Structure 1
Amino acid sequence: MELRQLKTFATIAKLGSFVQAADKLGYAQSTITNHIRIFENEMGVRLFERLGHRVILTDQGKSLLPYAEQVIKLTSEMTKIVANPDIPQGTLTIGTNESLGTYRLPELLQEYRRVYMEVEIILKFVNCDAICDDIRQNKIDVGVIINNKVWEKDIIVEDISREQMLFLAASNHPLAKKKRVKTSDLVETCVILTEPGCSYRSTIQKIFEDLRIIPQSILEASSIETIKQLIMHGLGISMLPRFTVEKELNEGRIYTIGWDEPIPNYAVQVLYHKDKWISPTLNAFLNMMRNSYWDVESKNKIRR
């Protein structure tokens, strides 16, 4: 089959008329009829019922129409890309974690869509432990994570900003009232952890293991918003990036625990495969990330 036959088929299905389809496509009616005859012979089915002046799709025609439309659409997109190789277009698939996808990326993606309206953006929440494998399998074009420095031979990693991590509690939590919280104080509290595979969880667990701390109890939640609610209801303490709780800190609903041990700061990092073709679409996103305001903002907050 040929593309012109698919276009003829889809146009007749839309207009319900051979005559109108011939006029729209600029063909003679005999050419339109020949396109459909050849297509029907190749498919081995009747595509249209001709009832008087009406042309109606058969059941087989209805089944084939979505596929024909998809082929026409993809061919059109392919032609555009070839005709405009330097213009961002097509699809960009971004893998990130919940905190960045909720608090950091929306504003940047809004600006990206404003400038590059032809690009379809797919945002996937990916566990930090799985991000590199998804990049290797080409499930995502680029990853944006907050974590300790990632070192992988086949993955290019660019630091975007440093982010301050905080131990947090409700305003009425016993630890929030202490000027300095000692290691022994953590034994008497509940610790709220993110889901397995999340960088925040592994950091807290390493801190506790290194200091040989066994908390009184543990709560686990997969959502940052849920963790914040658990903290504010006094159910335990947790560790999160400052930017996820900025609003609650300003309102006094969540307090920073004055712990007397160092808390590691994380880096927001952009990851992509070393052999990945840096298309105009991907390159435009990388440049926006590199020029984001986060770095200055995060440095100022860490300095305070």
Structure 2
Amino acid sequence: MEFKDLEIFQMVAQKGTISEAAKELSYVQSNITSRIQKLEAELNTPLFNRHNRGMRLTPEGKKLLVYCEKILSLTNEMKKVVQSKTEPAGKLEIGSVETVMKLPVILSSYNKKYKNVDLSLLTGVTEQLQEDVLNYHLDGAFVTEADPHPELVTHEVFQEELVLISDNSISTFEQLKKEPFLCFSKGCGYRARLEAWYKDHNIIPLKVMEFGTLETILGSVIMGLGITFVPKSTASQLEVRGLVQCHYLPEKYSKINTVFIRRKNAYLTSTLEKFIETIEQSKGEPAYPLAF
């Protein structure tokens, strides 16, 4: 069994089709097919169920994928350890929730200092980003603080206040309770906080509408589609311009920490170490509000 076979198996599992995996890896489809067949013969078990729309992992394939991800992650870590230099270099994959207002400051500062690092950013909700870090898909991520996970190290970034925002036609909490709630998908820390407020006050929102980007949510609020719960720093400029109105909830629901997480047992490369240093240095820097 070769590492390349495991990489191909992992890619087919992720993409669900031979053609998509071949495109991603720049291989011909016949090569991908023969590698998978070779792996199945070596392990003496089918790893995929083939169907008209692609390929789905068998129970044995799902078990192999868990080990495959660990093996490939350790292999990548091994290369980083052996090749580690004083000057950060190589790939750094970071995740973030969409509302980290200090993110441009951190990324810009890091990129200017360490030009040999290929820095990439993935956005998502807290729950999914935490899973991506735990499963070695990301080197680290900016998330909203939740219950500490034993396999993660947490670095504080900043604390902020969440506010309910609506268009200017809404002035009372009774009106707010009747408005649709505009939010990210399940797993978002801000959504969880407002849902806790709803539950504690026996409120059932008229409608919950999920969106993929912060810009779309804010634009929809401005147009009167519903309300949302976001950091005050995100809404402040919109409020100053008279586009939205802020409504404040008790500290139990509104105070929230943004943290940077990484795996506890992963080797701390100079690339990631310098990124964490940059986060620490940014604490005294002002955040840049979202332009809208």
TM superposition score normalised by structure 1: 0.62
1:237 to 227, 238, 244: 227
Amino acid at match of 2:156: D
Find 2:275's aligned residue among 276, 281, 285: 285
Kindly indicate whether residue 139 of structure 2 is the aligned counterpart of residue 149 of structure 1. Answer: no
Q: Does 1:267 align with 2:257?
A: yes
Structure 2 Cα separation of the partners of residues 215 and 118 of structure 1? 49
1:174 aligned counterpart, secondary structure:
coil
Contact 2:239 2:245 (8 Å CA) reproduced: yes
TM-score by length of 2: 0.65
Change (3 A) 1:167 1:187: closer
Q: Sort the Cα spacing of 1:261 and 1:190 in 2 relative to 1 into closer, same or farther, 3 A.
A: farther
Amino acid at match of 1:128: T
Query: Offset at 1:230?
Result: 1.0
Residue 170 of structure 2 corresponds to: 174
Flag structure 2 segments of 5+ consecutive residues without an equivalent. 1-78, 288-292
- Corresponding residue for residue 205 of structure 2: 215
Q: What secondary structure, in the 3-state scheme, does the structure 2 residue paired with 1:230 have?
A: helix
Q: Against the structure 1 CA distance between its residues 262 and 155, is the aligned structure 2 distance closer, same or farther, given a 3 Å change threshold?
A: closer
CA deviation map 1:157-191 (0-9, x unaligned) = 121110110011112x222xx4xx3xx44433222
> CA offset at residue 297 of structure 1?
5.4
CA distance in 2, matches of 1:267, 1:192: 21
Paired position in structure 1 for 2:238? 248
Q: Helix, strand or coil for the counterpart of 1:249?
A: helix
- Alignment partner for residue 163 of structure 1, among 137, 148, 160? 160
How far apart are the structure 2 equivalents of 1:281 and 1:258?
A: 40
- Whole-Å separation in 2 of the counterparts to 1:136 and 1:259: 33
Q: Call closer, same or farther: CA 1:91–1:286 in 2, change over 3 Å.
A: same
SS in 1 for 2:163: strand
Q: 1:240 to 1:91 in 2, by over 3 A?
A: same
Partners of 2:177 and 2:159 in 1: CA distance: 29
Alignment CA distance shift 1:108-1:258 (3 Å): closer
Please give the per-residue CA displacement for 1:56-84, whole angstroms capped at 9, x wherever unaligned: xxxxxxxxxxxxxxxxxxxxxx89x84x7
* Partner Cα distance (1:236, 1:225) in 2: 14
Query: Are residues 1:194 and 2:191 paired?
Result: no
CA deviation profile, 1:270-301 (whole Å, cap 9, x unmatched): 1011111111111110011112136x758xxx
* C-alpha separation in 2, matches of 1:254 and 1:228: 9
> Residues 255 and 104 from structure 1, CA distance in 2 versus in 1: closer, same or farther, beyond 3 angstroms?
same
Match of 2:67 in 1: none
Determine if contact 1:131/1:143 at 8 Å carries over to the other structure: yes
* Inter-partner Cα distance in structure 1 for 2:250 and 2:89: 50
Which 10-residue stretch deviates more, 218-227 or 281-290? 218-227
> Which one-letter code corresponds to 1:111 in the other structure?
S
Using the TM superposition, give the Cα deviation of residue 110 of structure 1 relative to its aligned residue in structure 2, in angstroms.
1.3
2:121 aligns to what?
A: 123
Q: Specify the structure having the higher radius of gyration (Cα).
A: 1
Equivalents in 2 of 1:218, 1:126: separation in Å? 18
Q: 8 Å contact 1:189–1:236 — kept in the other structure?
A: yes
Q: Give the whole-Å Cα distance in 1 for the aligned partners of 2:90 and 2:227.
A: 44
1:206 to 1:86, Cα distance in 2 relative to 1, 3 A: same
Change (3 A) 1:96 1:87: same
Displacement, 1:194? Answer: 2.0
Measured against aligned partners, the alpha-carbon deviations of 1:12-64 in whole angstroms (never above 9, x if no partner) come to: xxxxxxxxxxxxxxxxxxxxxxxxxxxxxxxxxxxxxxxxxxxxxxxxxxxxx
1:203 maps to which residue? Answer: 193
1:167, 1:238 within 8 Å by CA — same for their partners in 2? Answer: yes
Give 2:196's aligned amino acid: K
